[in-house]
Amino acid sequence: MASAETDQTEALFSLKSYHVSEELGFILPDPLEELPPYYQPWMDIALRIPELAQSHELRSRINKMPLLSSNFLQKHKELRLAHLALSMMTMGYVWEEGEKDTVEILPRSLAVPYWEVSQRLGLPPIITHADAVLANWKRKDPDGNLELLVSLPGGESARGFFLVTLLVELAGVPAVKNIPTVINGVRCGDTEAVARGLEIISRSIEDMTDALKLMQVHVDPSVFYGIMRIYLSGWKDNPCMPKGLVYEGVQTAPMRYSGGSAAQSSLLHCFDELLGVKHEPKSASFLIYMRDYMPPLHKKLINDISLQPSLRSFVQQQDRKDLNNVFDLCVKKLLALRSYHINVVSRFITVPAARARQLRDQNHNSDGEMISRAPTALEERGTGGSSIMSFLKTVRDQTKDTLLPEASREIKHHS
């Protein structure tokens, strides 16, 4: 009898093997603030990126940097801090002079250790959401106020952008914790557990939307568009760098990687797989490609959720009004989050892009307004490389299609 119970416990879906924290979800708990002293030359530059970029000294400082071995980085948290520091330095090096004076080669002293650390973590050698957000925070004081470890040009807006994104991740923790409750409830036919888990998930998604609303309080759209955004851009499908980037000492052929993107957050991927959101082929292929920019165990979690019995089919088979309602509530909250994200992108990208085009058409002095300094090649694109508005609207519409038939008709009738 005892062994049968043990077998059943082992069969339960759990977050334990995926590097997901009970308190912080996908966020790295208590990231290190310092690397071993041997790596001080990296940290000396990484902690001064905004000022070195502003004085146009960043590239020359990195060019003089010694080539250090990555072998003395042993622990996971050391590797994550190293990847964050090397990522920020790489973005600064490539984009210090804007889109008009990009580089073709990342110097050996940066490229080689960056490649080695990336290989050990299973992350690409470019900035990712896992670096800039999940592993880039510390507690500033006992009251729980947060601060960044490493920043990019953009002052308070850069700080606000990364920390608000972190708060969105934090708001999603109860949802992540309750994914196993829902999966195990479906497996065991426990409708009460499924309903309970979905209620918590829907509240958590609503809290994520509320956290995202802080973006307009803490980030200036003209600073984001005119200064910060280029530093999050990659060298794949980017007309500024059509060949990509050569990582000197790694391989002679250029490599292409996409920049940082909200699509690299594992949260929404987990919700999509749990709720059964079906994306059309173009959106689906971009989202699946973005999973290569996540820590491997987070990517594995998303895949493993996708292999579970269908929650949506379970809800339909039960044909219980309360269960239908709470499932649809979850989908509606996800829909509201995606709709608000479109609002944010409009405010921070579409509107400033139109203003920048207007200034160019009028031949205004390019120093007159910050947004006119923004890269023209990125006007209609996300930093991850997607044609941003059409992509987000398609994804939102496919979320709407996940509603159960009756609720779906209701929403269409009102919209």
Kindly state whether residue 415 falls inside one of the protein's structural domains. no
User: How many angstroms separate the CA atoms of 70 and 43, rounded?
Assistant: 14
Kindly state whether residue 292 falls inside one of the protein's structural domains. yes
| 46, 89 contact by CB (below 8 A) | yes
49 secondary structure, DSSP code? H
Q: Give the pLDDT mean for 97-102.
A: 89
When pLDDT is cut at 50, 70 and 90, the band that residue 206 belongs to is: very high
pLDDT at residue number 66:
98
pLDDT at residue number 324:
97
pLDDT at residue number 378:
56
Q: Has 341 been labeled as part of a binding site?
A: yes
User: How many angstroms separate the CA atoms of 361 and 359, rounded?
Assistant: 5
pLDDT at residue number 259:
94
pLDDT at residue number 2:
41
Q: How many domains does the chain have?
A: 1
When pLDDT is cut at 50, 70 and 90, the band that residue 144 belongs to is: confident
Kindly state whether residue 234 falls inside one of the protein's structural domains. yes
Tens digit of each residue's pLDDT (9 = 90 or more) over 317-355? 999 999 999 999 999 999 999 999 999 999 998 888 887
Domain limits for position 306: 37-401
Which of 86, 350, 52, 375 lies closest to 230 in space, CA to CA?
375
Kindly state whether residue 25 falls inside one of the protein's structural domains. no
pLDDT at residue number 372:
52
Kindly state whether residue 159 falls inside one of the protein's structural domains. yes
pLDDT at residue number 413:
47
User: How many angstroms separate the CA atoms of 88 and 345, rounded?
Assistant: 23
Tens digit of each residue's pLDDT (9 = 90 or more) over 272-287? 999 999 999 999 999 9
DSSP H helical ranges for 32-98: 40-46, 49-54, 58-63, 76-95
CATH code assigned at 374 = 1.20.58.480
Average pLDDT, rounded, for the chain: 91
Kindly state whether residue 362 falls inside one of the protein's structural domains. yes
Residue 73 CB-density burial (10 A; 0-12 exposed, 13-18 middle, 19+ buried): buried
Tens digit of each residue's pLDDT (9 = 90 or more) over 57-82? 999 999 999 999 999 999 999 999 99
When pLDDT is cut at 50, 70 and 90, the band that residue 241 belongs to is: very high
Indicate whether 312 pLDDT > 60: yes
Kindly state whether residue 28 falls inside one of the protein's structural domains. no
Kindly state whether residue 413 falls inside one of the protein's structural domains. no
pTM for this model (two decimals)? 0.91
Tens digit of each residue's pLDDT (9 = 90 or more) over 186-196? 999 999 999 99
pLDDT at residue number 25:
98
Tens digit of each residue's pLDDT (9 = 90 or more) over 357-410? 777 667 655 444 555 555 555 555 554 444 788 899 999 999 999 999 975 545
